Structure 1
Amino acid sequence: MTSHPDFNEKTTATVVASAFAEQIRNKNVVITGVAPKSLGEAMAVAIAAQSPAKLFLASRTKEKLEKVTKKISTESPQATSAVELVYLDLASQQSIEQAASQISSSVDAVDVLINNAGVMILTRDNTADGLELQFGTNHIGHFLFTQLLMKQLLYAGSKSGDSARVINVTSEGHRLSPIRFNDYFIEGKDVPDEEQPPPQITAIYGKIKEYNGWLAYGQSKTANSLFSLALNQRLTSKGVISYAVHPAIWTNLNRNLDEEGNSILAKTGTYWKSEDEGAATMLVAAFDPLLNDLPGPGEFYLSDCQFKEPAPWAKDTDAADRLYQLSEKLLGRKFDT
C-alpha cells in the first residue's frame, strides 16, 4: 500500500512531487527520455520545483533537452543550476557508456534513476550493436545504463535511511507477450507454449512466422517489469529497490505507427492521461517514503499511483533471473549485482 491511497488516475506529478517534497529535496535524480510534451518533461518539471541536488536529464536530442531546461528555468529558476544535460542514445552501447561516465564523474550517489525512454515500431530495425531495436533499446539499453550507474545507486542506498530507487517505465502492453527466450528477436522461430502470446493475441495474429512489432514491443515491456523483479532479488538487502510502472498515457511513442497501428493503440485504454497525470505514478514509485521497503512479495508493479497485478509472466522470478542472464550474454559481460 502507498502512503496516499487517495491518489488515482487523475492525480498529477505536480501534486505528487509537492506531497513528497521532503523526499526530493537534495536528492540526485536521473531521468531518461526527456523531451518537450512528454512524461520525461512532466517528471523533470515537477521534480525541479522541489529543489533536488542534481537533476540529470538524458535524451539523444540536444534541442529537446534545451527546450525542457528552458521550461524549468521559467517555472523554477532556482533549480536551473541543478540541471545537467546528458546525451544518451539507448540504441548505442557506446553512447550509454559515455552518458553513464558523465553522470558518475559528476556525483558519487544516484538516489533515483527513472528509466523512462522507449521506442515503438512496427517494422524491424536494429540497434547500433545489432540487437532488435525495441528489445535492444527499451530493455537492454536501460539494463546496461543501470548497471553502469550501480556503484552510485549502491552508495546512495547505503548512506541514508531512504532506499535508492530504480524506476522502470513499463506498460500494460506487457500483456501482449511474455519473453520469447527461444525467439527474442522475433524472427518467427518455434517457441514453447509458455512463450506464446495469450490466446486473444494469437487469435489476431495466428502463429508468429515473421517479425511482429506489437509482440516485440510487448516483450520489451515485459522485460522492463522483470528487470525490476531481478533487481529486487539482488539488491533489496543493499538498499536499492526497483518498481515497474505503467503510465497509461498516449505518448509520442506512436510517432512511428501508421493509421492502423494508432487505431489499435487507441483501443488499449479508456482514459488517456495528460503528461502531468501520466508521470504521477513514476514519482509515487520514486519518492513515496512508505515504499522504502517492498510492501510484500511480488508487489512492485504500479499503475494509477497504486499497486496493481501484472500478467503472470511479468512477475515470474525464474523468468526474471533467466532474462538477467540473457541480458548479460547479449552484452558480452557479467555484472557483480
Structure 2
Amino acid sequence: MTSHPEFNERTTGTEVASAFADQIRGRTILITGIGPKGIGASTALAFASQSPALLILASRTKSKLEAVADQIRTKFPHHTTTNTRVELVSLDLSSQHSIRQAVTEITRLTNNNRKLDILINNAAINTTTRQTTPDGGLELTFGTNHIGTFLFTNLLLRNNLLSPPPARIITVSSAGHRLSPMRFSDYNFSDPTYREVVPAGEDHMRPPLPGAFAKCTEDGYNGMVTYGQSKTANILFTLYLQRHLAGRGIGAFTLHPGTIETELGRDQDPEVKEEFHKIEAYWKSLDEGCATTMVAALDPALDETKGLYLVDCQFSDPHPHAKDEVAAERLWKLSEEIVGENFTLEDF
C-alpha cells in the first residue's frame, strides 16, 4: 500500500511533490521525454516546485527542452537561481549512438560525485505506420520505447550513476500493455501473415480489438498493437530490475499515467481518438497525468511492498502476460542480443 490511500485519479503531481517535499530537496533527478505539451514537462515542473539540487531534462528536440526549462525558470525563479540547477541533454532513444553520447554527457554533468537519486524513463512514441530505428533496423516503437530505455538505464547503472539507497528507477508504461504480450517470435511485426501462424500466448488482445484499434496499414502494421507490446516490455523490464536490484538499494516501479491529451497521440487516426473517448470516462490534466509517476518516484512506503505497477497513484495488477518472470528473463536476454552487450546487474 502507498502512504497516501486518499490519492486518486484527480490528484496532481504538484500535490504529490508537496506531500513528499523532503524526498525531493537537494536530490538529483533525470527525466526523459521532455516536451512542453507532455507529462514529461509536468513531471519536471512538479519536481522543480520543491527545489531539487540538479534536474536533468533529456529529449530529442532541443527547442522543446529549452521551452520546458524556460517554463521552470519562469514559474520558480527563486528556486532555479538559488537552489536548483537545470541541465539539458540531447537524447534520441531510437539511436544507440545518441544514447551512448547522452550517458557520457550525463556523467560529465554529475561530475562523477553527484549521482542520480531518481531516474524517470518517461519517453515514448506511438507510430501509425511501419518505421525502423536508424542504426538497428528495429521496429521503431519497440526499438525506442523498450530497447532504447533498456540500453540507457543499463549504461547509467554500469557507469555507477545511480545512488543507492534510496535511488529509484521509474519507467512509464500504459494500460495499453493489455493490447499485446511480447511477440518473441516476431517482435518486429515483420510477418504480415502473423495472425495465421501466431504461437500460443503471443497473439494480441482477445476478444478482437475494439473498432478503430484493429485498423492496419496496407502492409499489416497496427500501431496500437506495437505500442501495446512496447508497454508490456516496459513492465517486464521493471520486473527484472526489481528482482535483480533488490539487494542494491535501488527500487524500480512502473505505472499507467492515465488518459491524457499529449503529443504522444498527435499522429493518431481521428477514429482512434474517437475510440479512446468512447472507452475513457475521465481525461486527466497534465498535472494529474504525472501524479502517479511522482508517487512511484517518491513514496518511501513503496520500499516495504512487493508492488510493481501503479494506476491512479495506487498499486494495481498489470495483465498476467506483463508479470511473467519467465518472459522477463527472456526479454532481458533478447534485449542484450539486440544491443550487443551483456548486463549483469549484480556486477554493477
CA contact (8 A) 2:80 2:86 kept: yes
Aligned mate of 1:110, from 113, 116, 127? 116
1:253 aligns with 2:264: yes
1:265 aligns with 2:265: no
Cα deviations by residue, 1:8-49 (Å, 9 ceiling, x for unpaired)? 000000000011100011111100011112101111111011
Q: How does 1:102-251 map to 2 (within 5 A)?
A: 102-107=105-110, 108=112, 109-129=115-135, 130-151=137-158, 155-157=162-164, 162-188=165-191, 189=194, 190-201=197-208, 205=214, 210-248=220-258, 249-251=260-262
Partner SS state of residue 195, structure 1 = coil
C-alpha distance in structure 2 between counterparts of 1:286 and 1:206, whole Å? 36
2:36 alignment partner AA: P
CA contact (8 A) 1:35 1:65 kept: yes
C-alpha distance in structure 2 between counterparts of 1:307 and 1:173, whole Å? 17
Tell me what 1:79 maps to. 80
CA contact (8 A) 2:107 2:161 kept: no
| TM-score of the superposed pair, with normalisation by structure 1 | 0.93
Q: What's the offset of the Cα at 1:91?
A: 1.0
1:300 alignment partner AA: L
Q: What's the offset of the Cα at 1:263?
A: 2.1
Cα deviations by residue, 1:214-253 (Å, 9 ceiling, x for unpaired)? 1101000000111100101111111111111101123211
CA contact (8 A) 2:215 2:222 kept: no
Tell me what 2:338 maps to. 330
Q: What's the offset of the Cα at 1:202?
A: 5.8
C-alpha distance in structure 2 between counterparts of 1:174 and 1:264, whole Å? 17
1:127 alignment partner AA: T
1:286 alignment partner AA: A
CA contact (8 A) 2:156 2:162 kept: no
1:117 alignment partner AA: A
C-alpha distance in structure 1 between counterparts of 2:139 and 2:174, whole Å? 19
Cα deviations by residue, 1:33-75 (Å, 9 ceiling, x for unpaired)? 1111210111111101111111000111111111111111111
User: Could you say if the C-alpha distance between residues 13 and 155 of structure 1 is closer, same or farther in structure 2, counting changes exceeding 3 Å?
Assistant: closer
* 185-194 or 171-180, larger mean C-alpha shift: 185-194
CA contact (8 A) 1:153 1:164 kept: no
1:302 alignment partner AA: L
Partner SS state of residue 26, structure 1 = coil
C-alpha distance in structure 2 between counterparts of 1:170 and 1:286, whole Å? 14
Identity over aligned residues, as a percent? 51
C-alpha distance in structure 1 between counterparts of 2:215 and 2:255, whole Å? 29
| TM-score of the superposed pair, with normalisation by structure 2 | 0.90
Task: Provide the aligned length of Structure 1 versus Structure 2.
Answer: 330
Q: Which runs of 5+ in 1 are unaligned?
A: none
User: Could you say if the C-alpha distance between residues 275 and 153 of structure 1 is closer, same or farther in structure 2, counting changes exceeding 3 Å?
Assistant: farther
Tell me what 1:56 maps to. 56
State the superposition RMSD in angstroms: 1.9
User: Could you say if the C-alpha distance between residues 276 and 206 of structure 1 is closer, same or farther in structure 2, counting changes exceeding 3 Å?
Assistant: closer
Cα deviations by residue, 1:279-309 (Å, 9 ceiling, x for unpaired)? 000000001111234x12xx21001000011
User: Could you say if the C-alpha distance between residues 74 and 126 of structure 1 is closer, same or farther in structure 2, counting changes exceeding 3 Å?
Assistant: same
**Deviating 4+ runs (over 6 angstroms):** 206-209
